[in-house]
Amino acid sequence: MEHQINVMISEEDVNKRICEMGAQISKDYAGKELHLICVLRGGSFFMCELAKRITVPVSLDFMSVSSYGSDTKSSGVVKIVKDLDDSIQGKDVLVVEDIIDSGRTLSYLMEMFKDRGPASLHLCTLLDKPDRRVIEVNVDYTGFEIPDKFVVGYGLDYDQKYRNLPYIGEVII
């Protein structure tokens, strides 16, 4: 089934904002090496684009969790589907996420990462839906705050579809 998708944030605006975030992160981590952790699958498009705009040396790792089925509502359950390949002990870690909604996924992951002894641990998200927050999460870099709408594109899916849209679109359900 095809859905109606309205552009919420254009490709041009997303790209511009990612450039700004990359510049800010490069400045904040000047003289350091940065270890990026991508939360699959949604965070992958954003992480690639962001990483290309970071000027300090970067390494990457991937984590896969599931908190949603094919529905648009959070199950409240965070399951580790794939853990990190490398240790983060002593590293300057930046977690890269597509969207923070209830905050359940990231509050769980950030606590888990903290216990693994990184030198520093920060969080970067392309999108934030603050109105939906159930658990407080400390976000260090936010691309855009958006209203409580279900969005797709730039890595975000609806039932595994629309991740490849080059803009952020609102699904009219």
Residues of this chain that bind ligand IMP (CB under 6 A):
42, 67-68, 74, 97-106, 150-152, 156-157
Q: How far is the CB of 58 from Mg ion (least distance, A)?
A: 20
104: DSSP letter: H
The residue among 26 and 102 lying less far from Mg ion, judged by its C-beta, is: 102
Active site residue 115: no
Q: Please choose which of Mg ion, ligand IMP, none residue 142 contacts, taking the beta carbon within 5 to 8 angstroms, the exact cut-off set by kind.
A: none
Q: Please choose which of Mg ion, ligand IMP, none residue 139 contacts, taking the beta carbon within 5 to 8 angstroms, the exact cut-off set by kind.
A: none
Q: How far is the CB of 74 from ligand IMP (least distance, A)?
A: 4
Asked if residues 168 and 154 have their Cβ atoms less than 8 Å apart, the reply is yes
Q: Please choose which of ligand IMP, Mg ion, none residue 150 contacts, taking the beta carbon within 5 to 8 angstroms, the exact cut-off set by kind.
A: ligand IMP
The residue among 39 and 137 lying less far from Mg ion, judged by its C-beta, is: 39
98, 101, 128, 157: which one is catalytic? 101
- The side-by-side arrangement of strands in the sheet containing 34-40 is 79-82, 58-66, 34-40, 92-100, 120-128, 141-145
- Contact residues toward Mg ion (CB under 5 A) are 39, 42, 98
Q: List Cβ<8 Å contacts ≥24 apart for 23-31.
A: 23/53, 24/141, 25/50, 25/54, 25/94, 25/124, 25/141, 26/53, 26/54, 26/55, 26/56, 29/54, 29/56, 29/92, 29/94, 30/56, 31/56
The residue among 33 and 83 lying less far from Mg ion, judged by its C-beta, is: 83
Active site residues: 101
